[in-house]
Structure 1
Amino acid sequence: MQDTMRSIAMATGLVARAALWLAGIGLVLMTLLIAAQVFWRYVLNDSIVWTEPASVMIMGWFIFLGAAVGIREGYHLSFDVVLYVVPHGTKQVLHSKSDLVVAGFGAGMIWFGWQLAVKTAGNMLPSLGISGAYDFVPLVAGGGLIVLFSIARVARRAAGLPTARFGDAPVEE
């Protein structure tokens, strides 16, 4: 079981690394688009109409991809005061419950993001010339990664392997 979980952890690690790279590239690209818009507007006294909606769409991607990687690495928001006074086994159960709640949130992102995409599929974004559904694809993709990473954390914990969460004691091998 532990060898299987190590293989899964390596695979999810590669997915997380790719997501983080895409998020970083998206952040740089958004910054360049906004800088170009400012230059065109204030220096050339003209405007590029598609940079602002494209930047907002790119921002959705790097926010949700980055959030999913944060879930995998254990950096999501939590209230850990009780964890300082409970035994290690109880701490593991509470971490797993937290991960399952986060997975449920990710599933909600998939479900409702998909519904939003379907409802806006017929709308065209005028400055980009693409369907309005594309605005919600990052929500669905980020939700999918959040579910994947959360379930992987629970499975690693169940197999006796450490997770990246601060406060989890590594298991001696």
Structure 2
Amino acid sequence: MKGLKQACLFIDSLFEKVALGSLIAMIIIVTLQVFTRKLFHFVLFWSEEVTLLLLCWFSFMGIAIGVREKLHLAIESFTANLPPAAINVLDKVVALGTMAFAVYLIKYGWDFTVLMSDSTLPATKLSNAWEYAIMPITGFMMIIYAFLQLIGIDTRRHHLEGGSD
């Protein structure tokens, strides 16, 4: 069980580091783009495409991290007045709904990725599939997080690292 937990924490940590890395890269590229345009009157030909690609990846990864941290589909002013049993049922319904949406992301994200694999982005010549490849990855991570929540494991980062099983 400890090995499985370590593997999950490694994947989770890697996922979060890629999201953070894409945010940092976006900031650097956009800053560089602004400086080159204003100071040198030229724009790096690839900057907009790469920034858009990183934004797509960061946004979708943020969805999965939001599921992990239980930031979505929560209306605390409503649930605060419910009895604990009702909150538990509502949490299960939310986890199941999240898993259903994750399956949708996996299925159609994969379909889009395959469909776009033959076309390329005009400036970088990267495959358009890179724009859509994050959808099934996000869906997979959402299923993992929602399943763990469904079986009663707190997936929020500080609980995962705390060592309590």
Note the aligned Cα RMSD (angstroms).
2.2
Q: 1:130 is paired with a residue of what secondary structure?
A: coil
Give the conservation status (yes or no) of the 8 Å contact 2:148–2:154. Answer: no
2:16 matches 1:14: no
2:42 matches 1:46: yes
Give the conservation status (yes or no) of the 8 Å contact 2:57–2:131. Answer: no
Residue in 1 aligned with 2:24? 28
How many percent of aligned residue pairs carry the same amino acid?
A: 22
- Letter aligned with residue 122 of structure 2: P
Give the conservation status (yes or no) of the 8 Å contact 1:60–1:139. Answer: no
- Letter aligned with residue 55 of structure 2: M
Shift of 1:123: 0.9
Residue in 2 aligned with 1:115? 111
Shift of 1:12: 3.2
Task: Give the counterpart of 1:99 among 95, 105, 110.
Answer: 95
Task: Give the counterpart of 2:58 among 59, 62, 71.
Answer: 62
Q: Distance in 2 between matches of 1:163 and 1:40?
A: 43
Deviations 1:66-96 (A, max 9, x none): 2212211211232344422332222112101
TM-score (ref. length: structure 1): 0.80
User: How many residues are matched?
Assistant: 158
Structure 1: runs of 5+ lacking an equivalent = 165-172
TM-score (ref. length: structure 2): 0.84
Relative CO higher for 1 or 2, CA cutoff 8 Å, sep ≥ 6?
1
Give the conservation status (yes or no) of the 8 Å contact 1:110–1:139. Answer: yes
Give the conservation status (yes or no) of the 8 Å contact 1:113–1:137. Answer: yes
Q: 1:86 is paired with a residue of what secondary structure?
A: coil
Shift of 1:19: 1.6
Q: How does 1:153-164 map to 2 (within 5 A)?
A: 153-155=149-151, 157=152, 161-162=153-154, 164=156
Q: Distance in 1 between matches of 2:3 and 2:31?
A: 42
Task: Give the counterpart of 1:84 among 74, 80, 83.
Answer: 80
Deviations 1:122-145 (A, max 9, x none): 111121112111110112211111
Shift of 1:9: 5.1
